[in-house]
Chains A and B, each alone.
Chain A
């Protein structure tokens, strides 16, 4: 890491045209897709805490770091809490992969620690965070998505509902053994599919407990924008409700933090529209798609494209999503 720190320091020195030292660098999480670390950029002007997000290989990135930065800037301008990006580097030679540096924000990100903070504060902090998420999503979804990079449009060019149904269909075809439960759900999704949204929005696609920074004062930032795309705004509301993000606090629909009503009310107050039938459809869709994604992860292990014990274990988790989807179809 010290080698990487000195290369980062040299790069920052060139960007800022003033000598920068990189100190106190520490990894904060090592996701499968991204490497995150906090560090201090030291210069004659003083110390600045920054967060480094590096994609180990451009080959596995969803959005390029430049496109992700562009989306985050649009969100930030719309009043969504997002750590400000200071530098973007697309040159893979510097650190071994594209990266960006953003403002480091204090607070909890690990889901169980987020839930512990909420439990110890006790003053409706969870409902407040959920309301802030609703407001943030309404602001994001109100951004004119024509301003976003072209890369946010799905490759197929399909509108959001057709795109999502196509992904489910593909997931079922790719699965190595048949899933009667998901076949049942897929049929329901097809015959009850809502109309395509009249306008598309920038959809974050992974807003959940685990991708937010919170403190005793509430929501501080929404993280991990690499899955952003043009889509149906409702998808973001539905995804926050996944049972998987509740971490056993099953009675609190949104991330084990608060109620769906708190999310919907704040979303409406900030100018958004909530159609509960559409939300339900997207909840089923995203549950099925995620379950099929679990099977896909295990295939990546089996075919050697991503050998990993975590990926190997994923397929045994599909039953959880099958159960959740069937419960949503009661």
Chain B
């Protein structure tokens, strides 16, 4: 058993070092890549922290869409027309939005505040 810091705490420290120390010391394309690297580390930290609960919630939502927790089964059902009916369109669109909000909570928190013009 490791002593703290935890994996998430270490990743956050790496991200902070990249953002605060490394990025300002660089310029041009390398600076851009360092910025992307910092962002990736932050994403991975959130994935370690939230991934299990997001995936579990996703499975419940997928079940509610088309009776399967397998994303490829649900995708195939939707492609075949499972949401063609207007009421189903709305119900399923909301469930899919909830799934995507879970992914965004890891990949880009705060992005899900927009209601489509």
Contact = CB atoms under 8 A, between A and B. Distances in A.
Given A30-B28, A187-B84, A319-B107, A309 B115 contact: no
B55 interface: no
Contact of B75 (A180, A188, A309): A180
Interface stretch (A208-216, A229-237, A264-272, A320-328): A320-328
A16 interface: no
A320 B112 CA distance: 8
B32 interface: yes
Interface of A: 27, 30, 172, 177-184, 186-188, 191, 241, 243, 250, 253, 260, 308-310, 312-313, 316-317, 319-320, 322-324, 326-330
A313 B40 contact: yes
**Overall SS of chain A's interface:** helix
B88 to A, nearest CB: 10
A180 B71 contact: yes
Contact of B93 (A253, A317, A319, A330): A330
A284 to B, nearest CB: 10
Contacts of B83: 184, 187-188
B36 A310 contact: yes
A183 B114 contact: no
B72 interface: yes
B67 to A, nearest CB: 13
Nearest to B81: A187
B108 A181 contact: no
B76 interface: yes
A257 to B, nearest CB: 15
A320 B104 contact: yes
Contacts of A324: 114, 116
B45 interface: no
A180 B78 contact: yes
A63 B91 CA distance: 43
Nearest to B111: A320
Nearest to B80: A187
Nearest to A312: B40
15 contacts: A177-B71, A178-B71, A178-B74, A179-B75, A181-B100, A188-B89, A191-B84, A309-B37, A316-B40, A317-B107, A319-B100, A322-B100, A322-B103, A323-B114, A328-B117
Contacts, number: 108
B100 A326 contact: yes
Interface string B60-98: 001001000001101110111101100001001100110
Interface of B: 28-29, 32-33, 36-37, 39-40, 43, 62, 65, 71-72, 74-76, 78-81, 83-84, 89, 92-93, 96-97, 99-101, 103-104, 107-108, 111-112, 114-117
Contacts of A172: 75, 79
A328 B115 CA distance: 8
Closest 7 pairs between A and B when the two form their complex, measured CB to CB: A327-B116, A183-B75, A319-B103, A178-B72, A178-B75, A183-B78, A183-B79
Contacts of B84: 187, 191
Contacts of B39: 313
A128 B17 CA distance: 42
A180 B114 contact: no
Contacts of B71: 177-180
Nearest to A321: B100
Contact of B114 (A184, A241, A250): A250
B114 A310 contact: no
A179 to B, nearest CB: 6
B100 A309 contact: no
B79 A30 contact: no
A180 B111 CA distance: 19
A250 B111 CA distance: 11
Contacts of A310: 32-33, 36
Contacts of B115: 327, 330
Max count, chain A CB within 10 A of own CB: residue among B78, B80, B99: B78
